[in-house]
Amino acid sequence: MRMPKKIKRNYILNFVGTVLLFLCLFLVFEANVFGSRTEYFKGIATTACYTIIMVASLNLLVGIMGEFSLGHAGFMSVGAYASAIFTNALAEKSVPSFVLFLLALIVGGLAAAATGVLVGIPTLKLRGDYLAIVTVAFAEIIRVAFTNFQITGGGRVMAGIEKLSNFYWVFWVMVACVTVMYLFIRSRFGRTVRAIREDYIAAEASGVNVTFYKVVTFTVSAFFAGIAGAIYAHYMTAMIPTSFNFMYSAEFLTEVIIGGTGSMTGSVIGAAFLSALPEAMRTFAKYRMLGYSVVLVLIMIFRPGGVFGTWEFSLGRVIDRITGKSKEGRSQS
């Protein structure tokens, strides 16, 4: 049995929409609309992409599974350093850039995923406040470890990483990651994880192996954080462990909550917007986090689900409305 026609149409629509978006950006950059600042804006766009991946993967944990992590930057750093060590080791072998880039991403993702399993198994027995603090603890231990190892720079900047992160590649990596996460959520796996969030005791009583699913989701979330870290490393070309600190993790969590816990759309738009913001607000840089924290408090008080709540954007729905077709109930896709 193939997929229902309506859903097939929606998928194609989304794909076409994404390609169009890409072409727009491609043309804008290639036509030198920004002149000498084109590289600068490409940089912002790249930053937005890996931030989107970070925020979306954290949302998987916080919004869908309903558990806290204030150590997400720790997984990012594992991905960043693992991929950087990998590409440095292959520096002399002439591997085509694109292949090297993809391999670096996979290495980063897998390294972070392995860390995710190690951290997840003991940690996920805890809940709420305690889980949050333990994630901070693990992230700090990772940071201390990287500060002490020579291969990661021994506490100083690790520089000389190949600049493999080209915006056009990164864009599609981001699209792939978000798509995979979205499809995962809209499947029996996402459904089960959401059930765990709602009531883990009832989930156990319904046959769900809660510990297994928690660890798996945690690992998947870490995997994507690792990919984002790999992109980061090969964009910044230099990094230091203290960049991946508690403040950075807190920033991601803030973006998840403001964008909307449980909404991939919220994560994408929120992350894109909030990463472009620092650049737009250059002069107000010191007020940025101040503003974030105020917005966060306001959201917690007035709109705890975040700006987008659990709402997801659907191009199909938009087209339906425009063409006047009636929509029935909830669409399954």
Nearer to another protein, 223 or 232 (CB): 223
CB of residue 180 vs another protein: minimum separation in angstroms? Answer: 5
Nearer to another protein, 38 or 310 (CB): 310
CB of residue 117 vs another protein: minimum separation in angstroms? Answer: 15
CB of residue 26 vs another protein: minimum separation in angstroms? Answer: 26
How many angstroms separate the CA atoms of 202 and 208, rounded? 9
Question: First CA to last CA across the chain, in angstroms?
Answer: 15
Which DSSP string do the residues of 70-87 spell out, in sequence order?
S-HHHHHHHHHHHHHHHH
Nearer to another protein, 46 or 192 (CB): 192
CB of residue 223 vs another protein: minimum separation in angstroms? Answer: 12
Nearer to another protein, 93 or 188 (CB): 188
Are 292 and 98 spatial neighbours (Cβ–Cβ below 8 Å)?
no
Strands (DSSP E) along the chain, which ranges?
Answer: none
CB of residue 292 vs another protein: minimum separation in angstroms? Answer: 7
CB of residue 93 vs another protein: minimum separation in angstroms? Answer: 31
Nearer to another protein, 27 or 141 (CB): 141
Looking at residue 194, the DSSP 8-state letter turns out to be H
- Nearest CA among 218, 198, 222 for reference residue 208: 198
Helices (H), 31-127: 38-59, 72-89, 97-123
Nearer to another protein, 161 or 193 (CB): 193
* Exposure class string for 166-205: b at 16+ Cβ within 10 A, else e: ebebbbebbbebbeebbebbeeebbebbbbbbeebeebee
Q: How many CB atoms lie within 10 A of CB 319?
A: 14
